[in-house]
Chains A and B, each alone.
Chain A
Amino acid sequence: MRDKTEILITPEGGRLRGYLAALPAFHELLAFLVWKDLKVQVAQTTLGFGWLVLRPMLNVLVMSLVFGKLARLPSDGHPYLLFLLSAWLPWSYFTGVSSKATSSLLGNSALVTKVYFPRLLLPVSLVLGGLLEFLIVFVLFVLLSLAMTGSMPLAGLLWLPLPLLLLLLTTAGASFWLAALAARFRDVRNAASYLLQLLMFLAPVIWPLSLLAQRFGISADQHWLATAYGLYPLVGVVEGFRRALLGSGEIPWQLLGLGFVSGSLLFISGLVYFQRSEKRLADEL
Chain B
Amino acid sequence: MSDYALKVEDLSKCFRVGAVRKGNPQTLVAQTAEAGLRALRRLSGRVSAEEKAATEHWALRDLNLEVKEGEVVGVIGHNGSGKSTLLKILSRITAPSTGRVRVRGRMASLLEVGTGFHPDLSGRENVFLNAAILGLKRAETRRRFDAIVEFSGVGRFIDTPVRNYSSGMKVRLGFAVAAHLDPDVLLIDEVLAVGDAAFQQRCLERIEQVGAAGRTILFVSHQLGAVSRLAPRSVLLNRGRIAFDGPTLTAIRHYEEHIGGFQSQQRWDDPAQAPGDDCVRLRAVQLTSDGKPLSGPVDVRRPLELRLRYEVFKAGLPILPSLHLYDFSGTPVLSAIDNHPEWHGQSRGAGVYETVAVFPGNLFNEGSFQLAVGLSTLDPFLSHAYVHHALAFSLYDPIEGDSTRGQYRGELQGYMRPALDWQTARLGA
- Give chain A's interface residues, CB within 8 Å of chain B: 2, 4-11, 13, 25-26, 28-29, 32, 36, 39-40, 43-44, 108, 110-117, 184-188, 279-280, 282-285
Contact = CB atoms under 8 A, between A and B. Distances in A.
A25 B135 contact: yes
B139 to A, nearest CB: 10
B109 to A, nearest CB: 7
B93 A9 contact: no
Nearest to B141: A28
Given A10-B96, A10-B100, A184 B128 contact: no
Nearest to B31: A185
A9 B103 CA distance: 8
B26 interface: yes
B389 interface: no
B135 A283 contact: no
Contacts of A185: 25-28, 31
Interface centre among A29, A43, A112 (most CB of B within 10 A): A29
Given A7-B104, A10-B95, A111-B116, 16 more contacts: A4-B106, A5-B104, A9-B100, A10-B100, A11-B95, A13-B95, A29-B133, A29-B135, A36-B118, A39-B120, A110-B114, A110-B116, A110-B118, A115-B109, A186-B25, A186-B27
Interface of B: 15, 19-20, 22, 25-29, 31, 88-107, 109, 111-112, 114-121, 125, 128-130, 132-133, 135, 137-138, 184
Contact of B27 (A44, A112, A187): A187
Interface centre among A10, A25, A108 (most CB of B within 10 A): A10
Nearest to B121: A36
B93 A282 contact: yes
Contacts of A11: 95-100
A106 to B, nearest CB: 10
B129 A7 contact: no
A285 B119 CA distance: 17
Contacts of A13: 95
A284 B96 contact: no
B107 A113 contact: no
Contacts of A44: 120
Contact of B20 (A36, A187, A284): A284
Given A9-B103, A26-B135, A116 B91 contact: yes
A120 to B, nearest CB: 14
Contacts of A28: 132, 137-138
B100 A108 contact: no
A105 to B, nearest CB: 13
B269 to A, nearest CB: 43
B133 A115 contact: yes
A32 B125 CA distance: 9
Contacts of B135: 25-26, 29
A93 B26 CA distance: 30
Contacts of B28: 185, 187-188
A129 to B, nearest CB: 14
Given A36-B125, A115-B133, A283 B138 contact: no
14 contacts: A7-B107, A8-B101, A10-B96, A11-B98, A32-B128, A40-B120, A111-B133, A114-B116, A115-B93, A185-B25, A187-B27, A188-B28, A280-B95, A282-B88
